[in-house]
């Protein structure tokens, strides 16, 4: 599933091509996504200029004068900028035409989303899908001691494992399954430790680790396990850098102890039992 690094890589890839351009057409090939694609998108947006493209959690926010397109890649979605003359492929669901360029949502499993938030309904931050998201890992609210306090205060009295606490995204967004394992290893924290038992020093290390791992993942183009490719069709390469994820029984890159795998919430977790003592 594309997580924050993959969505940010997508944003960085498509924004230079689309910002400042006027949309010439919207073509809904199959609007049966996680939520139905609004059938009047072409009427709403044709002729209007893209003012900017931002990201909130795993949502891309494409700003127009009248509102925002909310785009989500779901489990297997990709967004690519292609020449409009390129033929459509199986599982292409929606295309946004910009003259000779086309932004295409390709989504085999149809768990993605294309939604509209008019500015008449208030700021985009008030959208129901965004309201409960935690802080952005690269925002000022998560820098230094502020990041420590976010994790410390949000984790108090929480008996859930710290891995599940991070995955929930209510404290800080974007730490998906791969990045949870890597961040916890970087911070030296056992993934099964109760979130409520994290100390302030541990929260400080974890906040720093989250930012470091996500930055490395973005720089590597994200992680490609099965489906993810960036806006130019290239896979991400973060998986070749992982220290614990998908390395069961291989020696830890720090202490040489074999990496262990456990299942938490039906998701695989990888850790070093020596570097991440419980």
Active site residues: 2-3, 58, 267
Going by C-beta distance under 8 Å and a sequence separation of 6 or more, which residues neighbour residue 242?
178, 181, 182
- State whether residue 242 is helix, strand or coil: coil
The alpha carbon of 128 is separated from its chain's Cα centroid by a whole number of angstroms, namely: 18
Give the integer Cα–Cα distance in Å for 32 and 104.
Answer: 15
| Dihedral sign (CA 250, 254, 257, 259) | negative
Residue 262 near residue 269 (C-beta atoms within 8 A)? yes
| Paired tokens of 264 | 């938490």
Q: What does the CA dihedral 213, 149, 169, 125 come to, rounded to 10 degrees?
A: -110
Place of tokens 């993959």: 6
| Dihedral sign (CA 226, 248, 220, 215) | positive
Please report, for residues 52, 85, 149, 184, the alpha-carbon distance to residue 124 in angstroms, rounded to integers and kept in the order given. Answer: 13, 34, 26, 32
Give the integer Cα–Cα distance in Å for 238 and 54.
Answer: 22
Angle at 167 between CA 163 and CA 172, to 5 degrees: 110
Please report, for residues 111, 174, 254, the alpha-carbon distance to residue 36 in angstroms, rounded to integers and kept in the order given. Answer: 11, 25, 48
């Amino acid at each position: 599933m594309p997580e924050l690094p993959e969505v940010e890589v997508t944003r960085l890839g498509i924004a230079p091509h689309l910002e400042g351009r006027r949309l010439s057409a919207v073509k809904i090939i199959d609007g049966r996504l996680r939520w139905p694609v609004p059938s009047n998108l072409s009427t709403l947006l044709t002729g209007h200029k893209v003012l900017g493209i931002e990201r909130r959690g795993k949502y891309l926010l494409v700003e127009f004068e009248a509102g925002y397109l909310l785009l989500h890649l779901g489990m297997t979605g990709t967004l690519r900028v292609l020449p409009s003359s390129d033929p459509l492929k199986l599982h292409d669901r929606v295309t946004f035409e910009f003259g000779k360029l086309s932004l295409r949502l390709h989504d085999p499993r149809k768990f993605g989303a294309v939604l509209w938030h008019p500015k008449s309904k208030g700021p985009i931050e008030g959208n129901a899908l965004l309201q409960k998201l935690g802080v952005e890992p690269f925002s000022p609210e998560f820098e230094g001691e502020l990041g420590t306090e976010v994790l410390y205060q949000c984790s108090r009295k929480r008996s859930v494992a710290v891995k599940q606490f991070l995955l929930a995204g209510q404290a800080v967004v974007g730490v998906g399954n791969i990045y949870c394992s890597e961040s916890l290893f970087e911070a030296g924290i056992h993934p099964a430790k109760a979130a409520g038992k994290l100390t302030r020093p541990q929260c400080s290390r974890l906040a720093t680790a989250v930012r470091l791992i996500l930055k490395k993942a973005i720089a590597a183009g994200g992680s490609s396990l099965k489906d993810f490719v960036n806006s130019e069709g290239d896979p991400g390469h973060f998986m070749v850098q992982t220290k614990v994820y998908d390395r069961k029984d291989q020696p830890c890159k720090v202490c040489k102890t074999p990496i262990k795998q456990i299942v938490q919430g039906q998701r695989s977790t990888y850790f070093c039992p020596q570097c991440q003592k419980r």
